[in-house]
Amino acid sequence: MKKILLLLLLALFQAPASGQSRSNKLYFEALEQYNKYVDTVNPKTHTLFVEDAGTITDKFPEKVGNRKLVLLTYQNQQKIYQANNNTLIHVKIFPMKVEDNELFIHITPYHGSYGGKRRAIC
């Protein structure tokens, strides 16, 4: 079983870079599942704020489901927080991990607040 999982992971990272890579598709699928969860707990949410995670988030589309997807970076965080009364919920997507022979992508929501130029994402 470990050999099959290893081969699967190698195939994901050796895929040709046309459009979204296979690993980016897996991250997007995880975000789609999170979007379905948001539908159950807060269906009035129109925007998902995702903390920039470099190569993980560089190929994400502008929408997931019926929600707008906004990439939160160090450069735009002040403007986005100010537009949202200096507080919002954003998610952080962590790199894929293998746990007990299963592939996991953790998406963690954070309640952030912005208090000035010297404070980064909370």
Residues in the chain predicted with pLDDT less than 50, given as ranges, are: 1-20
Render the burial of 66-86: b for 16+ CB within 10 Å, e for the rest: eeebebbeeeebeebbeebee
Tokens in use for 87?
A: 């507080």
Instruction: Give the pLDDT confidence score for residue 54 in this predicted structure.
Output: 80
Asked if the structure places residue 18 within a domain, the reply is: no
Please state, in angstroms and rounded to a whole number, the distance separating the CA atoms of residues 120 and 117. Answer: 8
Asked if the structure places residue 82 within a domain, the reply is: yes
Instruction: Give the pLDDT confidence score for residue 108 in this predicted structure.
Output: 92
The tokens 């965080």 sit on which residue? 77
Number of domains in the chain: 1
Element (H, E) at 90: strand 87-93
Asked if the structure places residue 10 within a domain, the reply is: no
Instruction: Give the pLDDT confidence score for residue 122 in this predicted structure.
Output: 52
